Chain A
Amino acid sequence: MNWLPQSASTFAPGVDLILWLVTIISVLSCVLIGFLLVYFCVKYKRKSDNDQTPAITHDSFLETLWTVIPTILCIVIFLYGYIYYDEYTTTPKNAVEINVTAKQWIWSFDYSNGKKTLNELYVPVNQPIRLVMQSDDVLHSFFVPAFRVKQDVMGNRYTYINFTATKEGVYDLYCTEYCGTAHSDMLGKVHVLSKAKFASWEDGSADKALKASAANIPPAELGKQLYSSKGCVACHSIDGADGVGPTWKGLFGKKRLFVDGSSAAADENYIKESILYPGEKMVEGYGPVMPSYKGLLDDSEITAIIEYIKTLK
């Protein structure tokens, strides 16, 4: 059975080598110790209450052996761990920086050309990347198993990850430092694109293509996809359960009571305003947690989401 994720970065093979090495050492050690345990129990099983046993308390050869061999093994494992770690923490000269901001419970990425994405990180293949990360609130941790990279993200200073993706594809991104209610929903995807595809994503032409193909999907269906990919799922349920944010089930047309005492029905305009300016009309009982999606969702995507919400009765 598969016990390791895909290997999709320059760091991954080194990590996997260590995992294999220590696994083999461990398996051999366990087999040895397990065998001896069982063997001794069988061979020296008590025959009578008066069995004679030799009072052996020392054996210089054996004691030296089982001190020296574990020491050597530990040194070897340490060295492998150190060498690959050293590479991992050395930033290559031509690394491209991407800024990462973690906040309960969304990842946002700012690229050097001014582009911004939520929960979706886009990188070109075989290009050294340096993530410059910070948190807006509590501790988070950026983890991509396929790359084998991880680093805690905090509020009072920047932390960094170097990686170079080696295989095109889409890989899971997890938050892996417990950060509250929706810690396990603070998910993302890393899109590793060929140089060409990345270039077209970067300059916006890919977006146009995406929108063209999205135009062929019914809006409610597109809205459903955006619900997951843009991070709405972290805070808004669709089954009526209360969460960090109000549930979307039965939301459309429902009367909303706001913190300032006023109220209004949740129509198309209200939903669009809440997506772009979430602080404007906050519903009573919820905190000012939602980030603004201005610049991150265009009008057709907002419409798609509204259509999706309408389907959730």
Chain B
Amino acid sequence: MSEVNEKNYLENGEGFASWFFTVDHKRIGVMYLWAIAVFFIIAAIASFLVRFEHLTPGQTIVSADTYNVLFTLHGSMMVFLFIVPGVAASFGNFLIPLMIGAKDVIFPKLNLYSFWIYLAGAAIFMIALAGPADTGWTFYTPYSIETGANVILITLGIFVLGFSSILTGINFIVTMHKLRAPGMTWDRLPLFCWAAYATSLLQVLATPVVGITLLLLIGERYFGLGFFDPARGGDPVMFQHFFWFYSHPAVYIMILPAMGIISEIMPVFSRKPIFGYKAIAYASLAIALISFLVWGHHMFVSGQSKLVNIIFSVITYAVAVPTAIKVFNWLWTMHKGSIELSTAMLYSLAFIFLFTIGGLTGLFLGALAADVHLHDTYFVVAHMHYVMIGGTVFGFFAALHFWYPKMWGRMFDEFKAKIAFVLIFIGFNVVFFPQFIMGTLGMPRRYFNYAPEFQSLHQISTYGTWIIGAGFILMLWVLMRPLPGKAPGNPYRSVSLEWSMDSPPGTFNFDEIPTITEPVYNYGTKVEEES
């Protein structure tokens, strides 16, 4: 490294203060990564307890009230503390400046404040656990108004977390507009950045709505405002409209960055450019924009009018098509390629398959008549976990493995990591596939007790959690115990900018800002374009 980048970013400054007060996007990304990992583990433990309870139809290990707290904790912690900030805040922060050829994001101090705000929101959220909410992560009224739990505190925590999300989104959007290296036109922007851009649009535009929704819920509980309480002239369905206006775009905040990761990994391990670059970029934007128009599909049986239901159903199918296009584009990237089945590639391939299942099961739910039967059953639980775990978490794990050498300057044991992958893949399907069947059979969600005829399916699902749990532990063990020796700068021979410097990068990323002259996935031999 040159004088400017004498020390890599991990070594440049030691001690708590050098991390807690850093403005280096890479360190901020790493701190987010640790934070979300901690909350992922806590929320996962809650889910293992939930599933353990389901080994028998009646009470197994906890009471009904505790069970209701556990699934609320699992859902709200996973959504607001892990998956929404998730890939964007950790990998987005680490990678975007590297990928666009910049020294840092455009607002480095704001970036640090975003992280502090995340910690503050998380702290308030954790304090609320003293009287934990039992409302479900969706906080539907009137139950959330009258329950005795610390609803005000937990929603306040989520409100504060929303600021972190918004400020990160603003930072990424402006960074990508203003700090792309010379020659990096928009059609040379890596697809992970396109995904992050679309995600940031959602973060900026959707999050304020959940902000006001939660503020009004706090007002309901504290002042008795009455907007969402039928006893006071309010409308509980209006709460649902406000809540889902954010929460539907939120699910695209969850998946788009993971899709961006897949778009980065597929070319590297196929040694081919991504198939249909523009289609993927525009599809990401289309998905982001259309996602604002479909929130009502969470409310088909809520009592909203028939006409409104029909409109939401139509638009919901519209958002399915760009997603399908992306899946085929990733797949076709492999065609005539040179495939290497690294751990990162395995997670990416699994993503494509599992996310497809998750997306296809969304087609069931978008159909009005079918949704009448399937809404609020385990079918929905299975669908959402296929897209969130099979999709986002697998994408997140792919990123953990792919950029591992770049972030830490070390290599990991691929063989053991692949065993962990197999356990996680099998375990995941054993947990969630039976839940589709439970759902079509009519097993409702959020049920502490259940009818004995569902027991065998519930038990299979619980056994799956032990398999996936073993896989998580093995994966963690592998990642925490890197192989001896320093990693090369570019072990996977990627042509993407973030691999063009030493691993780990120096604090200021580039000795010299590069000038871009090539397309972004410059693999393979040029073919004559078909006319």
Contacts and interface: CB of A to CB of B under 8 A. Distances in A.
In the complex, is A directly touching B at CB under 8 Å? yes
A34 interface: yes
B337 to A, nearest CB: 5
A184 B449 contact: yes
A77 B446 contact: no
Interface stretch (A123-131, A170-178, A206-214, A268-276): A170-178
A80 interface: yes
A176 B443 CA distance: 9
B313 A78 contact: yes
A152 interface: yes
B140 interface: yes
The winner among A36, A57, A60 for most chain B CB atoms within 10 A is A57
A166 interface: no
Q: Bin chain A's interface residue count.
A: 35 or more
B416 interface: no
Given A55-B273, A139-B142, A82 B310 contact: yes
A158 B459 CA distance: 39
B357 A26 contact: yes
A179 B143 contact: yes
7 contacts: A41-B341, A52-B525, A57-B273, A139-B140, A143-B442, A179-B143, A183-B446
B372 A85 contact: yes
Given A53-B271, A139-B236, A62 B313 contact: no
Interface stretch (B62-70, B171-179, B204-212): B62-70
B364 A74 contact: no
Nearest to B446: A178
B276 A183 contact: no
Contacts of A75: 317
Interface string A7-21: 000010011001100
B529 interface: yes
Contact of B352 (A26, A33, A155): A33
A260 interface: no
Interface stretch (B214-222, B323-331, B509-517): B323-331
Contacts of B279: 63
A253 B334 CA distance: 76
A206 B401 CA distance: 69
A183 B448 contact: yes
| Residue of A1, A143, A150 ringed by the most chain B CB atoms within 10 A | A150
Nearest to B335: A40
A181 B65 contact: yes
A174 B442 contact: yes
Contact of B338 (A51, A81, A179): A51
Interface residues of B, number: 97
A94 interface: no
Interface in B455-504: 493
Given A30-B353, A84-B369, A176-B376, A155 B444 contact: no
Given A26-B363, A37-B353, A62-B332, A178 B140 contact: yes
Contacts of B287: none
A180 interface: yes
Interface in B516-530: 522-527, 529-530
Most central of B279, B317, B442 by chain A CB within 10 Å: B442
Given A154-B230, A156-B236, 15 more contacts: A22-B370, A30-B360, A53-B338, A56-B524, A67-B324, A81-B313, A135-B230, A141-B376, A150-B373, A152-B303, A157-B303, A177-B376, A182-B64, A184-B446, A241-B63
Contacts of B17: none
Contact of A63 (B231, B276, B449): B276
A33 B356 contact: yes
B150 interface: no
A159 B309 contact: no
A145 B441 contact: yes
Given A56-B272, A67-B321, A154-B236, A78 B366 contact: yes
Given A54-B524, A56-B336, A81 B369 contact: yes
A154 B303 contact: yes
A22 B331 contact: no
Contacts of A11: 369, 372
Q: Which of B230, B275, B446, B525 has the most CB of A within 10 A?
A: B230
Contacts of A47: 338
Contacts of B451: 172
Nearest to B71: A178
Given A53-B523, A154-B237, A172-B451, A70 B375 contact: no
Contact of B275 (A56, A89, A152, A156): A56
Interface in A26-44: 26, 29-30, 33-34, 36-37, 40-41, 44
B270 interface: yes
A200 interface: no
B442 A145 contact: yes
